[in-house]
A and B are shown apart, each in its own frame.
Chain A
């Protein structure tokens, strides 16, 4: 079984400030990790994914995330946020085995609000 904990339900920041959204996971098997973004009244859009290799992963819209196996974390960062980054962000994990049918387990989400 897998679980995902997003440590902050809401993160308010000012425009052009840096931001970190925290994600910890638990799994007994090797995993793939994902960050998705959801804008109001829309579906989820993939920001980035970690499969293997380099622990620093770059995604769209200037976001990046770092996989830390020892701390079972996959925190999302952006050095300078914009008003348009206001959205809900979801961390998700799946087993890297096809036998799991690649089911995703999601965290409960972090609402990022960027203020002027």
Chain B
């Protein structure tokens, strides 16, 4: 499968602290995505990127920001974490070719106390 690495894999932090999650892909994929997965909600899109320095909001973007300074890296930042942001976060990437699927990383389990 596509080489997508998420770090850290697990993190516990306190309310009000900043948190940055990293997604690294080795496939030279144009598009990258951040999702959160919560019980009963499936996966919901937070932010996505359609090229270096080109990003846009998804369905649940409040409280999150992203940056993409290189093709291979897509960072998700929680500026001031809240307990409602406790979740499992998944990164995905895909090529720019029509019909290709998104490929997913193994996720980051984030707990905010």
Contacts and interface: CB of A to CB of B under 8 A. Distances in A.
Contacts of A45: 1, 104
Contact of B90 (A43, A51, A107): A43
B41 A101 contact: no
Contacts of B104: 36, 43-45
Contact of A102 (B1, B4, B102): B102
Interface string B27-66: 0000101000000111111001010000010100000000
A106 B98 CA distance: 19
The interface size bin for chain B is 20 to 34
The interface size bin for chain A is 20 to 34
A42 B43 CA distance: 14
28 contacts: A9-B40, A41-B107, A42-B106, A43-B4, A43-B90, A43-B104, A43-B106, A44-B43, A44-B90, A45-B104, A46-B101, A49-B101, A90-B42, A90-B43, A96-B98, A98-B98, A101-B31, A102-B31, A102-B102, A103-B48, A104-B33, A104-B45, A105-B45, A106-B43, A106-B44, A107-B42, A108-B40, A108-B41
Q: Nearest 6 CB-CB pairs, A to B? A: A43-B104, A108-B42, A106-B42, A44-B104, A106-B43, A51-B99
